[in-house]
Amino acid sequence: MPPALDSVNLKILAELRENGRISMAALADRVGISRANAYARVEGMVGTGIITGFSARINERKAGLAVSALVFVTVHPQMWAPFRERIGQMPDIEYCCVTTGEHDAMLLIRTVDVGAMHDFVTGVISAQPEVKSVETVLVLDEVVDMPYLLPSDIPERDLAESPLGLTRFTRASPNRGNLTT
C-alpha cells in the first residue's frame, strides 16, 4: 500500500465514497481530525493522483439507459493501438478494460433499448477493422454498484478453507502480439 494511504486517508476515502459533496468540516469531524488536516489530506491525495475527480452518481435506468450489456471483444493481432484509440473516442462506451481469457477486452455499454444495443454492437463495434469477434451478454440486474473499492474493504480470508472451484484461465496465443500498445 502506498505510504499516502494510512488509516486516516482510508477513512477519508470511505467517507467521500458515500458523500463526495461532504464539507471539509463534516469530513474532518467524521474522521476525527482537524479541518485543516482533512483539507490537506484530500488535496494531497488529489495531487498524487489517488483521487482522480469528483462526480455525481446516477441511476442509469431512471436517466433513460434501460439496457446494459457486457461486450467481449477479440481484437486482430497487432491492432491494439488503433483499437484503443478508436474505443476511447466512443462516448457510448462507459467502461473498457483489457482482459485475459477467451476475449481481449470487455466493454460496458448502456443504451435506451435492445434495438439501440443491437445497432451499436453490430453496426459500430463489430464494424471496426480491428475487431475480430464480439460476444454480447445482456445485464439482467446489477447487484453491487460500488464506485470504488479500498484496500480496507477487503477482508482477510483463510484461503486454505476455500478450494479454487471453477476458476478458468485461458492462455493467449503467442501470435497475438503486444496488448499494451
Q: Look up the CATH number of domain 7-47.
A: 1.10.10
Name which of 87-91, 106-110, 174-178 the model is least confident about. 174-178
Would you say residue 40 has pLDDT above 80? yes
Contacts of range 53-58, beta carbons closer than 8 Å, 24 or more positions apart: 54/16, 54/20, 54/21, 55/20, 56/20, 57/147
Question: Is 48 within 8 Å of 4 (Cβ atoms)?
Answer: yes
Fold equal for 7-47 and 67-138: no
Residue among 89, 2, 120, 15 at smallest CA distance from 24: 15
**Domains of the chain: which residue ranges?**
7-47, 67-138
In whole angstroms, give the CA distance from residue 59 to residue 23: 24
Name which of 86-100, 108-122, 150-164 the model is least confident about. 150-164
Q: What are residue 39's DSSP bridge partners? A: none
Question: Is 24 within 8 Å of 40 (Cβ atoms)?
Answer: no
Q: Tell me the pTM.
A: 0.76
Interval 71-92: pLDDT, tens: 999 999 999 999 999 999 999 9
Would you say residue 149 has pLDDT above 70? yes
Q: Which fold would CATH assign to domain 67-138?
A: Alpha-Beta Plaits (3.30.70)
In whole angstroms, give the CA distance from residue 124 to residue 62: 25
